[in-house]
Amino acid sequence: MSDFIPRGEDGHVHQKLWVWSPETIDDIQTKAELGRYTNRGLGTTRRTPHFQDLTFVPCTLSRVPLEGYREACDTSVEIGARHGAKPIRLATPITIAGMSYGALSRNAKQALGTAATRVGISTTTGDGGMLDLEREASDQLVYQVLPSRYGFNPHHLRMANAAEIVIGQGAKPGTGGVLLGAKVSPIIAEARTLPPGVDQRSPCRHPDFVGPDDLQIKIEELREATDGAIPIYIKIGACRVADDVKLACKAGADVIVMDGLEGGTGASPDSLMDHTGIPTMAALVEAVAALREMELEGVVNLIISGGIRNGVDAAKALALGADAVSIGTAAMIALGCNKPVYIEDYERMGTEPGACHHCHTGLCPVGITTQDEDLIARLPVDEAADHVTGFLNSMTQEMQMFARACGKNDVHDLEPEDMRAMTIEASAITGIPLVGTDFAFRPESFADAIMRAMTAQTTNGHSDQKVRH
């Protein structure tokens, strides 16, 4: 019976409790069985203030749009020229985020590099070092310098087009990731100088420096190692964003990659993914304000990452002041992550296409987050690269579409004024007026409103004293 209402013997309706929801009950019983916290891949489960909460207000009578499908709209940008290094040239303001060879299969890494090259953007290595196939596939490769230094090789650094010092990740700032034993195959173990099958728990602190003053010397070391030829990026998991941006600028960063709470991971404790960090949109606003305060906007480039799903999110990020966006999870999904094929393999893991976040198991049915040869073979490199290329092109088209509609012939000319907030929360975070009002819910806006009201009262002859009697 579809209208059956379960009742107990006492006649009361049996309801699911909010605190002790089925998910909470499952979580407790899983931890009781495992004897530890739970790990999983992908990213946070919680709803965050997001670019979704903003809407564009394109040209109408008050402004003139560009022809949507015809007029030129530039998307290119140069990144990392602050200290005279050869900059990264992005044909479209997107980069592929650092994802490790180990968390990802070699086919996935090669396909991402191939797609990035076709589109004219950069891709990034990850924990575990550089894969030769990845270097060959990628015209512009950013080499990560991570706390673990797994697979770090100065010869590879000198082959890179930029270096990225990873201070943290948005999915788990302040904590290293994990690569569970199932994925530490003999090849991956050798690349990382680890015993095969070990549960690898990456460190969060760098081995050779600690604080921001030290970071300045580390950057100098990397510049000396590369003869100053390549830009130095600093990647930060969004927490105390303004302070961190200022410290990274002072340390000498050419580029800051700010990774928000919605950022992805191959495997991490899920409590960290849901309960640490600052959402991407909020982090972006804070980072731009910090750069502006230091008068370094446009000098130190800002790449924003974490939960960027499409060209619309990217266009909104550019409008808020990012120079480019970085995508990781979206690129994986374009490769075929969560695709409805090999359904029985999803079911074997207790999940289904569209809801799989079992990257940590190494059993990825579509060959992306696995080191199993049979599963890797399910991801043909060319076909996967075609899909990522298609997705990247769609992102570019979407960014151009919104820029043209807002009357801009360069996607980087999008600005906050081109948008309105759909929620009070988004308005308070971004300082963009709430739809239907001309009011931004920021502390300074309230102060201005009060001052205006008081001034109006005084002008109209209604002094405080008169009002009070």
Partner 1 sequence: MATLISEIDCSQHTTREINQAIKRAAADGVPDVRLTNPAARHCLAVAVMSPTRIVFDGPVGWYCGGMCDGAEIVVNGNCGWSVGENLMSGSIAVHGNGGSSAGATIRGGRVFIEGDTGARTGIAMKGGIVVVGGSVGYMSGFMMQRGTMIVCGDAGDGIGDSMYEGTVYVGGTIHALGADCVESELGGDDRALLESELGANDIDSGGYDWKKLVSGRKLWNFSKHEYDAWRAAL
Which residues, 41 to 80, sit near partner 1 by CB under 8 A?
Answer: none
Q: Identify any residues that bridge with 175 across adjacent strands, giving them in sequence order.
A: none
Q: Does 211 bind partner 1 (CB under 8 A)?
A: no
The minimum distance between CB 196 and partner 1, in angstroms, equals 10
Q: Does 193 bind partner 1 (CB under 8 A)?
A: yes
Greatest alpha-carbon span in the chain: 84
The minimum distance between CB 1 and partner 1, in angstroms, equals 43
Distance separating alpha carbons of residues 207 and 184, to the nearest angstrom: 22
Q: Does 295 bind partner 1 (CB under 8 A)?
A: no
Place of tokens 């050419």: 254
Nearer to partner 1, 199 or 398 (CB): 199
What element of type H or E holds 266?
strand 265-269
| Cβ-proximal residues to 213 (8 Å cutoff; 6+ apart), any chain | 251
Nearer to partner 1, 174 or 228 (CB): 228
Which residues, 129 to 168, sit near partner 1 by CB under 8 A?
Answer: 148-149, 152-155, 157-158
| Number of other CB atoms surrounding residue 435 within 10 Å | 15
Q: Does 465 bind partner 1 (CB under 8 A)?
A: no
Q: Does 209 bind partner 1 (CB under 8 A)?
A: yes
Q: Does 35 bind partner 1 (CB under 8 A)?
A: yes
Distance separating alpha carbons of residues 123 and 136, to the nearest angstrom: 12
**Dihedral sign from CA coordinates of 192, 230, 83, 241:** negative
**Dihedral sign from CA coordinates of 12, 18, 23, 24:** negative
Among positions 220, 297, 372, 398, the unique one binding partner 1 when judged by CB under 8 A = 220
| DSSP conformational letter for 411 | G
Tokens of 106: 């070699």
Nearer to partner 1, 195 or 380 (CB): 195
Q: Which stretch binds partner 1 (CB under 8 A): 11-19, 35-43, 94-102, 401-409?
A: 35-43
Tokens of 377: 């073979």
Which residues, 305 to 344, sit near partner 1 by CB under 8 A?
Answer: none
Distance separating alpha carbons of residues 302 and 288, to the nearest angstrom: 8
Each residue 171-190 as x (binds partner 1 by CB under 8 A) or -, in order, gives ----------x---------
Nearer to partner 1, 34 or 451 (CB): 34
Among positions 34, 341, 447, 453, the unique one binding partner 1 when judged by CB under 8 A = 34
Distance separating alpha carbons of residues 210 and 218, to the nearest angstrom: 10
Nearer to partner 1, 36 or 466 (CB): 36
Q: Does 299 bind partner 1 (CB under 8 A)?
A: no
Which residues, 224 to 243, sit near partner 1 by CB under 8 A?
Answer: 224-228
Among positions 78, 132, 136, 208, the unique one binding partner 1 when judged by CB under 8 A = 208
Task: Give ∠ CA 443-448-449 in degrees, rounded to 5.
Answer: 100
Nearer to partner 1, 40 or 420 (CB): 40
The minimum distance between CB 197 and partner 1, in angstroms, equals 7
Question: String of b and e for 266-294 (b: at least 16 CB within 10 Å)?
Answer: bbbbbebbeebbbbbbbbbbbbbbbbeee
The minimum distance between CB 23 and partner 1, in angstroms, equals 22
The minimum distance between CB 76 and partner 1, in angstroms, equals 30
Helices in 171-210 by DSSP H: which ranges?
186-192
The radius of gyration of the chain's CA atoms, rounded to the nearest angstrom, is: 24
> Are 379 and 387 within 8 A, CB to CB?
no
Residue 281 amino acid letter: M
The minimum distance between CB 36 and partner 1, in angstroms, equals 6
Q: How many residues bind partner 1 (CB under 8 A)?
A: 35
The minimum distance between CB 184 and partner 1, in angstroms, equals 10
What element of type H or E holds 419?
strand 419-421
Residue 367 amino acid letter: G
Q: Does 207 bind partner 1 (CB under 8 A)?
A: yes
The minimum distance between CB 339 and partner 1, in angstroms, equals 31
In total, the chain counts a number of residues equal to: 469
The minimum distance between CB 390 and partner 1, in angstroms, equals 39
Binding region for partner 1 (CB under 8 A):
34-37, 148-149, 152-155, 157-158, 181, 192-195, 197-199, 203, 207-209, 214, 217-218, 220-221, 223-228
